[in-house]
Amino acid sequence: MKVVIIGPAYPLRGGLATYNERLARAFRAAGDEARIVTFSLQYPDFLFPGQTQFSTEPGPSDLDIEVNLNSVNPLSWWAVGRRLRRERPDLVVFRFWLPFMGPALGTVARLARGNGHTRVVAITDNVIPHEKRPGDGPLTRYFLSACDGFVTMSRSVLSDLQGLGFGRKPAQYRPHPLYDNFGAPKPKAAALTALGLPADAGYLLFFGFIRAYKGLDVLLEAWADPRLGALPVKLIIAGEFYEDAAPYEALIKKYDLESRIVRATDFIPNEQVANYFCAADMVVQPYKHATQSGVSQVAYHFGRPMLVTDVGGLAELIPDGVVGYVVPPTPRALADALVDFYAKSREEVFAAGVRQEAKKFSWEVMVGALKEVAGL
């Protein structure tokens, strides 16, 4: 089967690119011919909140990646779509995460399907965005209406699809597979040494791009709890600010948290991901709202316990009391769970639960779901 994946990939960086590259390898492992079409321009600079959209690491030598889709240039949409229509791949998989991408991806999808052979399926991270803007609805519907089927990675997004009127198209919920491409787990002592961190303290990890909905402010409020201040534990904040850092810095100053925080607030390159996760006693995701999170699947790969908030699809993947905690998104609830984790020495028990639960998250299952909703 000939498969084309359309979405972020090298030289773009970040979790979406990592996912799409891993998905291409999963299709190839299943015996399919797979390539990726990615963006020459993903976001105009004024819409991109980070430092750079591009990776400084070497590109994957084992993948066929074409860089020729411009999100704001209709001529490129038509060129990519018409080429796909001529080439007649069996399946085109779109990664949809933001209404802004609706016109580009929707146009390519319509043109590709015009040959009467190619099936179009979307992996929909979100159909209702975390940060809403005028025009989101029409842009999203323009893309969704061009698809033959959908795979969602949370039940809440599957429900959102149905609520938008797309319930009659084939759709399946399949959990986010493991991010197993950041290397093997390593001993905690080796990870701490690699990061230059002393081994006489415990470490909690907040990982990923920092945006309002991810709740770092709630975690900092929790971190001010005097019960946590009495523990020999530090909070690692690892990820680039995608918004103004000033409110977070104000909280750190207000509660005098500086000595209890390890900052790594630049983009974390792939070769360093293992060190941050393996150095942590537990990974904390204090999100205010969410659909699913790739951070959970990195934590599963590295065998790390998790604390997540009971929002969106996060709790679907984190059995409370088995691999960690599921709590309300409040400072008190977060603090109570963190105190319990250390007071009752739960790391090893939860880590064993993580290793068992991780067996459920397979790339082969994701590939199978994409083919099934496409009718292939």
How would CATH label the architecture of 188-360? Answer: 3-Layer(aba) Sandwich (3.40)
Consecutive 10-residue runs of the chain (376 residues): their mean pLDDT? 96 88 96 97 66 70 94 96 97 94 97 97 84 81 96 89 88 90 93 96 94 93 96 96 90 96 89 96 91 84 96 84 96 98 97 93 94 95
Report the pLDDT value the prediction gives residue 130, as an integer from 0 to 100: 61
Q: Are 260 and 272 in contact (CB under 8 A)?
A: no
CA–CA dist 32, 21 (Å, integer): 14
Burial category of 322 from C-beta neighbours within 10 Å (exposed 0-12, middle 13-18, buried 19 and up):
middle
**85 φ, ψ (degrees, to nearest 5):** -60, -40
Report the pLDDT value the prediction gives residue 52, as an integer from 0 to 100: 58
Report the pLDDT value the prediction gives residue 337, as an integer from 0 to 100: 98
Element holding 2 (H helix, E strand): strand 2-6
Report the pLDDT value the prediction gives residue 51, as an integer from 0 to 100: 57
User: How far, in whole angstroms, is CA 32 from its chain's centroid?
Assistant: 25
**350 φ, ψ (degrees, to nearest 5):** -65, -40
Q: Are 252 and 168 in contact (CB under 8 A)?
A: no
CA–CA dist 54, 108 (Å, integer): 23
CA–CA dist 205, 305 (Å, integer): 10
Which residues make up the CATH 3.40.50.2000 domain(s) of the chain?
A: 2-177+362-374, 188-360
Burial category of 314 from C-beta neighbours within 10 Å (exposed 0-12, middle 13-18, buried 19 and up):
buried
Query: Taken in order 10, 15, 104, 46, is the CA torsion positive or negative?
Result: negative
Report the pLDDT value the prediction gives residue 291, as an integer from 0 to 100: 60
Radius of gyration of the chain from its Cα atoms, rounded to whole angstroms = 21
CA–CA dist 323, 247 (Å, integer): 32
Q: State if pTM tops 0.85.
A: no
User: Which two structure tokens, joined as six digits, stand for 328?
Assistant: 């309300």
Which class does domain 2-177+362-374 fall in?
alpha beta
Kindly report the number of other CB atoms within 10 A of residue 351's CB atom.
Answer: 18
